[in-house]
Structure 1
Amino acid sequence: MTTDTPDMRTVHVALGSRAYDILIGGGLLASAGDTLARRFPGARAAIVTDENVAVRHAATLKQSLEGAGIATATITIAPGERSKSFAVLQQVVDEVLAARLERGDVVIALGGGVVGDLAGFVSGIVRRGMAFVQVPTSLLAQVDSSVGGKTGINTAHGKNLVGVFQQPGLVIADSDVLDTLPEREFRAGYAEVVKYGLIDRPDFFAWLEANWRDIFSGGSARVEAIAVSCQAKADVVARDEFEAGDRALLNLGHTFGHALEAATGYDSARLVHGEGVAIGMAMAHRFSSRMNLASPDDAARVEAHLSAVGLPVAVSEISGDLPGPERMLDYIAQDKKVSRGSLTFILTRGIGRSFVARDVPASEVLSFLKENLPS
């Protein structure tokens, strides 16, 4: 990672001929046109965004692109996880084709994880692959979903079950746009920041415990947290691009979290992705303690920090009814992290000591769910 200033960072994702940079800092949205014109000379662009982000940021990006001579079409979708669907995928594909964009042109994802996942999938399948740029506008997208090339949509069977690996050519993470996020959405993204400390960076987790208020208020602490998170993910992706080994560690908390999202019907009023991850990470640490892999003190420490920033840590904090333990186990078994029917979880031997646990007995998971789901 190269450091330009405390408020501007570049993280390199080392993938050989498909390597790319993550630019992190304030004011990057307004200069995006010049940046893209240098890296994609002669290209035109389709900006894929959602209705909420479009109101706040689409004009700035479009003006920057067109000021740099990049002809631009804007495609707007409804906000929320339910837009990661076959129907919306078809809509965006049709609009990209109607704009007569060619293979060498660029699909730009301007938005959070939903927009990034959907637009990335579109770029991977239209004309058998177009250039792709991520301009993430949520904390969650800046530190997680915009990096690593995993794209896709949801189905009734579960989350992200249809998609492709499509690496971006560039990620532009403007830390200033996070000031426009609702507090709940910023907190949800922070869960993914915490995840990197819990996987294998215990010193980073301790730094977060001491500095989270400064991260929430902005400035150099925020840029630092985003840069460390992106570097952590970039290191893993460079070792294991297609999730055959180490990259599975990035799913800490996600198997429980994805099951909870499916159980709530992807209703963001009840649960957003980062909140599901927060509950999932707390559950993964409690389950690790239950399996005598880690101290209950570690689980308590994780829960204390997540609760301090306002994130949920228990299923009981989700409003409305939820399926029973047996149905929740079905959602877990449908998750894409299951291989040949065996239950796979990311568990831990302590803070920053996560590992891939394969062949976890379903009976143990069911018993744990019975203890943790509201009666």
Structure 2
Amino acid sequence: MSKIKLKFKKRTNESYIIYCEPNIVNSIPKYLHKHKFGKRYCVITDNKIQKIHGNNLQKLLKQNNISAEIISVAPGEDAKSLENIKKICEKLIKLGFNRNDCIIALGGGVIGDLAGFVAAIFMRGLAYIQIPTSLLAMVDSSVGGKTGINLEELKNILGAFKQPKAVFIDSLFLDTMPKAEIQNGLAECIKYGASLDKRFFKYLEKNIPLIYKPEKDSEYNYNQKVLNKIIEISIRLKSRVVQIDNKETGLRRVLNYGHTFGHAIEAASKHKIPHGHAISIGMCLINEKLVRDKILKNKDAQRIKQLLDNTGLPTSLPDNIKKSDLLTLMKSDKKNKNRGQINFVKIKKIGDFILE
């Protein structure tokens, strides 16, 4: 089992461990008894994940004498709404939850954002842990403490920094995910390689094709060895950045490479384009700009585009979205330093970034 400690020097009480191991979900009751994150637990998930994993987790906890309730919402980006926040908080009040209790976020990035935001504001904050079930959530949103909900077309415009008490990464969850969901998560892994680590980028070029087993009827049967290494390296790269800048005031902004365009693309599509797909296109668009500005060599931009292509990710805008459509949305991006001034994370070569 891999244990990755995310340690904050100035806020040691917010430090936590990320546990990575296939089938670790069955060991979670042991960790909850040992660390006593809460007297009672409430699993927040979506209706789809509840049927696949949520009911089993609740049963497992109760079998181990752990009090566990479950609250589910409709799946999809639209779940990240003020209306759902209100409904979940009302249910927690009705169930008698208080600051001595703990929330479990079980699901993808949407659920992590939603549950984490509830944990940040309910009774001015209570503990929560992350159990991500998608590759995208495993390598990105479950690590680092950023939570958020959407307001109209603006993605994550309302949010808080709330570090979990622990993160449990069980790659066997991915065997219930279609190939498209794996590809969606790999966009963030490619982002890490392109902006932070050229050796990891080379590893991805060589090994992404090995994730998918060639046998018939094996769409949901992935190469766990390769997936686990990609997950672990991605988490280590993100953790190194977050440990230095946990509130996104400086270095952490590098994690937004491709995201200024990407978030605008998601909004322009009314969230019909998945996050990973939007970030893939976003990386290509910013790279085109960097090549024009003679900051990035075209051969590096093409190499990144080729890896995204080989992964099965889109690399250009769909016909119904124009670059001009994105300008207003990008000016409203919460990461901009000055009103109306668009800030981009740039790379000058693979594995080497520039912050404005």
Moved more, 281-290 or 302-311: 281-290
> 1:161 matched to which residue of 2?
157
Indicate conservation of the 8 Å contact 2:284/2:315, yes or no.
yes
**Structure 2 CA distance for aligned equivalents of residues 197 and 309 of structure 1:** 14
Aligned pair partner of 1:305 in 307, 312, 316: 307
**C-alpha offsets along residues 173-208 of structure 1, whole Å, 9 cap, x if unaligned?**
100001101211111011011111111100000001
Deviates more, 1:134-143 or 1:12-21: 12-21
Give the distance between the partners of 2:243 and 2:129, measured in 1 at CA.
Answer: 18
Q: Distance in 1 between matches of 2:60 and 2:151?
A: 36
Q: Residue 219 of structure 1 corresponds to which residue in structure 2? A: 224
Alignment of 1:334-373 (within 5 A): 334-341=332-339, 342-357=341-356
Deviations 1:107-165 (A, max 9, x none): 11000000000000000000110001000000000000000000010112511000100
Aligned partner of residue 237 in structure 1, secondary structure: helix
Write the deviation string for residues 255-311 of structure 1: whole angstroms up to 9, x where unpaired: 1000000001112xxx10111011111112221111100111111101111111100
Q: Is the 8 A contact 2:37 2:127 kept in 1?
A: no
Q: Which moved more, 1:190-199 or 1:115-124?
A: 190-199
Report the RMSD for the aligned CA atoms in angstroms: 1.3
4+ residue segments displaced more than 4 Å: none
Contact (CA 8 Å) 2:258, 2:279: kept in 1 or not?
yes
Q: 1:146 is matched with which residue?
A: 142
Q: Which residue of 2 aligns with 1:108?
A: 104
Deviation at 1:41, TM superposition (A): 5.8
Report the CA distance shift for 1:197/1:85 in structure 2 as closer, same or farther (over 3 A). same
Q: Using the TM superposition, give the Cα deviation of residue 21 of structure 1 relative to its aligned residue in structure 2, in angstroms.
A: 0.6
Distance apart, 1:249 and its partner CA: 0.2
Q: Corresponding residue for 1:74?
A: 70
Q: State how far apart, in whole Å, the 2-side matches of 1:191 and 1:174 are.
A: 19
- 2:311 partner amino acid: V
In the alignment, which of 279, 283, 286 is matched to residue 285 of structure 2?
283
The code of the aligned residue for 1:294 comes to: L
1:137 alignment partner in structure 2: 133
Partner of 2:29 in structure 1? 33
Which residues of 2 match residues 1-375 of structure 1 at below 5 A? 8-15=1-8, 16-40=12-36, 43-216=39-212, 217-267=222-272, 271-316=273-318, 321-322=320-321, 324-341=322-339, 342-357=341-356
Write the distance in 2 (CA, Å) between the matches of 1:42 and 1:18: 16
Q: Distance in 2 between matches of 1:262 and 1:153?
A: 13
Q: State the Cα distance separating 1:14 from its structure 2 match.
A: 0.5
User: Structure 2: which 5+ runs fail to align?
Assistant: 213-221
SS in 2 for 1:126: helix
Q: Secondary structure at the match of 1:47?
A: strand
Overall identity of the aligned pairs, in %: 37
Distance 2:38 2:151 in 1: 37
Q: Which amino acid aligns with 1:113?
A: G
Counterpart amino acid of residue 333 in structure 1: K
Contact kept? 1:30, 1:60, Cα under 8 Å: no
CA positional deviation for 1:339: 1.4
> Could you say which residue in structure 2 is the equivalent of 1:362?
none
Conservation of the 8 A alpha-carbon contact between 1:135 and 1:173: yes
TM-score by length of structure 1 reads: 0.89
Determine helix, strand or coil for the equivalent of 2:160: coil
Deviation at 1:246, TM superposition (A): 0.3
TM-score (normalizing by structure 2):
0.94
Find the aligned partners of 1:42 and 1:169 in 2 and give their Cα distance: 10
- Contact 1:32–1:61 under 8 Å retained in 2: no
Could you tell me how far 1:98 is from its partner in structure 2? 1.4
Q: Provide the rounded CA distance (Å) in 1 between the counterparts of 2:243 and 2:38.
A: 29
Partner of 1:372: none
Shift of 1:218: 2.4
Greater shift, 302-311 or 26-35, is seen at 26-35
Deviation string 1:199-233 (CA, Å, 9 cap, x unpaired) is: 11000000010011234422222111111111111
Moved more, 103-112 or 59-68: 59-68
Work out the CA distance in 1 between the residues paired with 2:190 and 2:323. 27
Superposed CA deviations along residues 47-91 of structure 1, whole A, max 9, x for unmatched, are 000111111101221122112221111001000001111111111
Give the gaps of 5 or more residues in structure 1.
1-7, 358-375
What is the one-letter code of the residue matched to 2:118? V
Shift of 1:44: 0.6
